[in-house]
Chain A
Amino acid sequence: MGWLFVLPNLVGFVCFTLVPLLAGIGIAFTDWNVVSGLSGITFVGFANFTSLLADPQFWAALGRTLLYAGLGVPLTMLGGLVLALLLNGPVFGRSVLRLVFFFPHIVNSIALGFVWLLLLHPTSGVVNLGLQAVGISDPPGWLVSQQTALITIILITSWAGMGFHCVIFLSALQGIPTELHEAAQLDGANRWQRFWTVTWRGLMPTTTFLAITSTIGHSQGFGLIAFLTAGGPGDSSTTLSYFMYQHGFQYYQFGYAAAVGLLSALGTLALTAFFWWFQKGRGLYT
């Protein structure tokens, strides 16, 4: 019976996502530049992987990606959770606020990117003007300085992702039966305790979901990076996904790019497994 319910989604998924996906993985074992068509695919076994592991730029990109996800995921989630908790109670203009925080998700990414370019402009941007006003004479270069480009990207993408997390947390918060809150209150629990025993546990499936999808998103997304810094200055903001884009779409080394993708996927998979294991038995009903 269960399989019947799953079937529509599964069949479509297999056809339109799984098969192309497997083909994509297969490409990691070939040396292909797409333009040669299907006949141009030459099988090279693990050659792509060995050159990848010997490529210092790969390791550098990997390090940057770990930093990017390691800081970015918790930041985005925390921001989303705090916003959702605040928006779950009475606030002035609550419905409008919900929409506003979600804006970055729906707005054209050129607009997003450009606004931040404006704000973070080293000489005329509001941020640096403000910093100079409070006495910091040599404010950071943000997006145009090799030392700060990656951190800036982390902050910007966290800001952009918060609204998305907030919407999901909000919907989950409202699924937690109020009786549980009332029961806990009757038991004498204060706000903090109520949060941990009821809210946190009730949110566990959602938190897991967001942790996993956000990690995946951080390891894959590069649209904003492409617009804001194109991986630079130098290559200080070249994460694995941008590295993959360069090798695939610019140098047309699709086999190499697919190998990067596969390794990245394996890493994310490991993290996902960890999150999965972590949430076992910590939910409300599991």
Chain B
Amino acid sequence: MSTTPVTDPQTAELVRRRSTWTAKLLADLPERGPRRRAALIEYVVKSVLLWGFSLLFFLPFLWMISSSLKRNLDVFTIPVKWLPDPVVWTNYLHVWVEGDPPMARFFANSIMVSGLGLVGDLLTSSMAGYAFARLTFAGRDKAFLLYLSTMVIPGQLLLVPRFMFFQQLGLYDTLWALILPGIFTVFGTFLMRQAFLSAPVELGEAARLDGASEWRVFWNIYLPQVRPTLAALGIISFVGSWNDYEGPLVMLSTATNYTVPLGLTRFTDAEGGLSAGFAMAGAVSSIVPVLALFLVFQRQFVAALAHSGIK
């Protein structure tokens, strides 16, 4: 929804008569006159530039969809035929129904892993990030730097020790071996800390003076401030665990426990030949939840516009 109230009666009339997006647009622009003209030109130029640039970004997605409807032989031919010929709808059928186990199983596993990881990550990271940013306690900054410095060590080194660790814990070949590391991340803490740092310090003062507990200050005052960053973290955390291949590869062995990326490898044969049509049908299917999540979360970006400043 627009943020500035429409005062100009002529604009208000236009808004009433035209469609929603033009209404929103007009409401966002300055009032009529040369400034509006300049703003309109800027709008058009920006839109053209961005949409032009975005074409490049559409390509991998389009290729995936196109490939998912092709026969295996046609997928990797060069020059590429963007329109599949013939169109093979049965790839999806094969992947979802005839697979053993079928895609639905991988989806269920992935949703559990990424969903739980998401919730846990948001919670623990925002708490820790808040603490490192706005609470004072002994050794705070030093502890944070130490925390941070562990990020520099390459994840590859983690793979083997983690495997042995989870074996000892008896968590090998369970989904928990994937969920748990995803809940407790330095990345999330770091991101949230930076976000809290950008929120004005005075916000909590009033509430504290009124006797509110630290938890309330955190939950009711600061957290809503950083909602956009929470949304960003949510998306990143979800996508990260949804697309993770090496983690499940090392931690899982029975096929019924597989998550989606690992499940896609079941379309590779012993010589490394990828049944690309099937794999891409699976891959396209797996993007859908991520897109859905993105669309849901990004409302937060917009909603935050209404929550600016100190209330």
On whether A and B touch (CB less than 8 Å), the answer reads yes
The 9 A-B pairs of least Cβ separation, nearest first, read A12-B184, A24-B157, A2-B137, A171-B228, A205-B194, A23-B161, A20-B161, A2-B135, A5-B131
Report the bound CA distance from A101 to B60 in whole Å: 12
With both beta carbons as reference points, the residue of chain A lying nearest to B157 in the complex is identified as A24
- Please state if A100 and B128 are interface contacts (CB–CB under 8 Å): no
With both beta carbons as reference points, the residue of chain B lying nearest to A223 in the complex is identified as B245
- Please state if B51 and A93 are interface contacts (CB–CB under 8 Å): yes
CB neighbours (8 Å) of A285 from chain B are 197-198, 200-201
Report the bound CA distance from A8 to B50 in whole Å: 42
In the complex, identify which listed stretch (B10-18, B74-82, B85-93, B100-108) lies at the interface while the others stay far away.
Answer: B74-82
Cβ-based interface call for B136 (8 A): yes
Q: How large is the interface on B (under 10, 10 to 19, 20 to 34, 35 or more residues)?
A: 35 or more
With both beta carbons as reference points, the residue of chain B lying nearest to A85 in the complex is identified as B46
Q: Which B positions have Cβ atoms within 8 angstroms of A?
A: 25, 28-29, 39, 42-43, 46-47, 49-51, 54, 56-61, 63-64, 67, 76, 78-80, 123-125, 127-128, 130-132, 135-137, 140, 143, 145, 147-158, 160-162, 164-165, 180-181, 183-191, 193-195, 197-201, 214, 218, 225-226, 228-229, 231-232, 235-236, 239, 242-243, 264, 274, 279-280, 283, 286-287, 290-291, 294-295, 298, 301-302, 304-305, 308-310
- What total count of A-B pairs have CB within 8 Å? 288
- Please state if B157 and A27 are interface contacts (CB–CB under 8 Å): yes
Q: Is the interface of B mostly helix, strand, loop or mixed?
A: helix
Cβ-based interface call for A261 (8 A): yes
Other 14 A-B pairs with CB < 8 A, given A106-B242, A262-B153, A276-B148: A5-B130, A34-B160, A99-B291, A100-B58, A102-B294, A167-B232, A170-B228, A175-B198, A175-B225, A220-B155, A245-B156, A257-B157, A265-B152, A284-B198
Given the interface pairs A209-B194, A276-B145, the reply to whether A92 lies near B287 with Cβ below 8 Å is: no
- Please state if B157 and A25 are interface contacts (CB–CB under 8 Å): yes
In the complex, identify which listed stretch (A51-59, A66-74, A112-120, A139-147) lies at the interface while the others stay far away.
Answer: A112-120
User: Contact check: which of A97, A174, A177, A202 meets B309 at CB < 8 Å?
Assistant: A177
Q: Which A positions have Cβ atoms within 8 angstroms of B?
A: 1-3, 5-6, 8-13, 15-21, 23-25, 27, 34, 38, 83, 86-87, 89-93, 95, 97-108, 110-112, 114-115, 118-119, 121, 124, 159, 163-164, 167-168, 170-172, 174-179, 202, 205-206, 208-209, 212-213, 216, 219-220, 241, 244-245, 248, 254, 257-258, 261-262, 264-266, 268-269, 272, 276, 283-286
User: Contact check: which of A119, A170, A213, A244 meets B154 at CB < 8 Å?
Assistant: A244
Question: How far does the Cβ of B135 sit from chain A's closest Cβ, in whole Å?
Answer: 4
**A-B contact list, 14 entries, CB within 8 Å:** A9-B124, A17-B181, A19-B161, A20-B161, A27-B160, A106-B243, A114-B60, A171-B228, A205-B194, A209-B191, A219-B154, A248-B156, A268-B152, A283-B198
User: Contact check: which of B50, B156, B193 meets A220 at CB < 8 Å?
Assistant: B156
- Please state if A90 and B28 are interface contacts (CB–CB under 8 Å): yes
- Please state if B218 and A5 are interface contacts (CB–CB under 8 Å): yes
- Please state if B57 and A101 are interface contacts (CB–CB under 8 Å): yes
- Please state if A171 and B232 are interface contacts (CB–CB under 8 Å): yes
CB neighbours (8 Å) of B279 from chain A are 110
Report the bound CA distance from A23 to B157 in whole Å: 9
User: Contact check: which of A38, A103, A159, A272 meets B149 at CB < 8 Å?
Assistant: A272
CB neighbours (8 Å) of A98 from chain B are 298, 301
Report the bound CA distance from A172 to B227 in whole Å: 10
CB neighbours (8 Å) of B132 from chain A are 2, 6
